[in-house]
Amino acid sequence: MRILCLRALCSSFVVLAPPVLAAPFATEVVSYTAGSNVPAGYDDPTSSLGSPQRAPDSFGDITPFNSPYTADQVVSIGAGGELVVRFDHQVADDSLNPYGIDLLIYGNAFLGMDYDTGLADGTLVFSEPARVAVSQDGTTWFDAAVFGDALFPTLAYSTNPNGPFGPGGSNPTSYTRPVDPSLTPASFAGLDINQVAALYGGGGGGAGIDLAALGLPWIEYVRVWQPAGDVYASEIDAFADVPEPAVATLFGVAALALTWRRARTPRPSR
């Protein structure tokens, strides 16, 4: 009977877990309108679904100096354009998340570099910010007061032995872990790629949003848009829910272990 009960509990966990564990990234394009200055070929909105990329092409890993740029990796918004995506679950406000951040938006900005030294020069050379709004129902929107395609540029691996443009990185970063929002481009001045990675603290980058600041307990929809007067086109790679899925996994495993331990504990005879 104990084995049957444990199997039933495991089955329940498997049924209930996927909405939390299976899709930490946006899964659905609700709508997309390409702006007036979107580059040719960069109008596939599905490029913004799923996980951020880890290699821009066959020649190197993605780093804050080497951002994703191919048409299958990012979608362009453009002047007067907008992209609306949806998660398959509620992205919840949680004060226990790192830095209180609940949502991350990945673009293709990159840090400036002194090419004589290979070190960050303390500027964000390429950033084409897009406006961001969030919603619970896809109808009523709240301005997030955060720009997409801005700090922090994507970092695929926490160790990059071949430099900021080389392949062969190791220790994948977490694309659901935020970077310390108190950092600025100047925080990276004079640092090499591995020192920059150390400041990322295991996170993969992205512009962070704290839902508590908007007075929202949860959201499901994210809208990225640009005013008609913009002279550039912002690129978006992905949208991520915080915290890391592993947290929920460990919680579930701990619950199963506790149940199994209780099942094995002898009961006093009557």
Q: 14-45, pLDDT tens digit by residue?
A: 444 444 454 899 999 999 999 999 999 999 99
Contacts of 128 by beta carbon, 8 Å cutoff, 6+ apart: 107, 109, 149, 232, 233, 234, 235
pLDDT tens-digit profile of 195-217?
Answer: 999 999 999 999 999 999 999 99
The answer for residues whose C-beta is within 8 angstroms of residue 166's C-beta and 6 or more apart is: 60, 61, 160
φ/ψ region of 65 (left if φ > 0, alpha if ψ in -120 to 50, else beta) reads: alpha
Count of CA atoms in the C-beta half-sphere (13 A) of 217: 0
What stretches in the chain show pLDDT beneath 70? 1-22, 57-58, 244-270
Q: Are 197 and 158 in contact (CB under 8 A)?
A: yes
Q: Residue 21: its pLDDT value, please?
A: 56
pTM above 0.85, yes or no: no
What CA–CA distance (Å, rounded) separates 237 from 37? 18
Rounded CA-CA distance 75/38 in Å is: 9
Task: Indicate the domain borders of the chain.
Answer: 26-261
